Amino acid sequence: MTVMQTTTAAPTQQPDRTPADICSAPPRRHPRPEGQDHYTISEVVAFTGLTAHTLRWYERIGLMSHIDRSHTGQRRYSNRDLDWLDFVTKLRLTGMPVADMVRYAELVREGETTYPDRRELLEQTRRDVVSRIAELHDTLSVLDRKISFYETGGN
């Protein structure tokens, strides 16, 4: 894939505008440093594994806030957008419905006053994940019982 260079490097990027957007960012190394983070949609496809269709759809439904555009209207994703996508991907792995993720995104956009709501939402999600893990362990033991049956009886 030809990684297009985004030569439109904004010279004056003010440092760290909204810490509320990505709270407690994970230890991720970004492909490019702040100031040069103007990724095309195909670059983001390469980084995240999501399709371009899905990325545009996320934006349309409000799961991502408005993405910067080049002077010709093409999307230019930032490092923060990448962080957000990482987080969203994690949430998706938990089985959280997209509508709930949108709800969370809205809370983020509303600012710091929604910290308690966000925490509650994440804690509920956490509980769901924990019980999901328990379910899977349970399933695992059923599978193991059957597999050991087939191992001894089936060969």
Q: Which residues bind DNA (CB under 7 A)?
A: 1-2, 4-5, 7, 40-43, 51-54, 56-57, 60, 70-75, 92, 97-99
User: Which amino acid is located at 37 in the chain?
Assistant: D
Bridge partners, 75 (sequence order) = 69
In this structure, what are the phi and psi dihedrals at residue 75, rounded to the nearest 5 degrees? -70, 140
Site membership for its own copies, residue 69 (CB under 8 A): no
**Closest CB to DNA among 27 and 73?**
73
**Binding flag, residue 16, its own copies (CB under 8 A):** no
Question: With binding defined as CB under 8 A, does residue 130 bind its own copies?
Answer: yes
Other C-beta atoms lying within 10 Å of the C-beta of residue 76: 19
Task: Tell which one of 54, 90, 97, 111 touches its own copies (CB under 8 A).
Answer: 90
Integer Cα distance of 150 and 120 in angstroms: 45
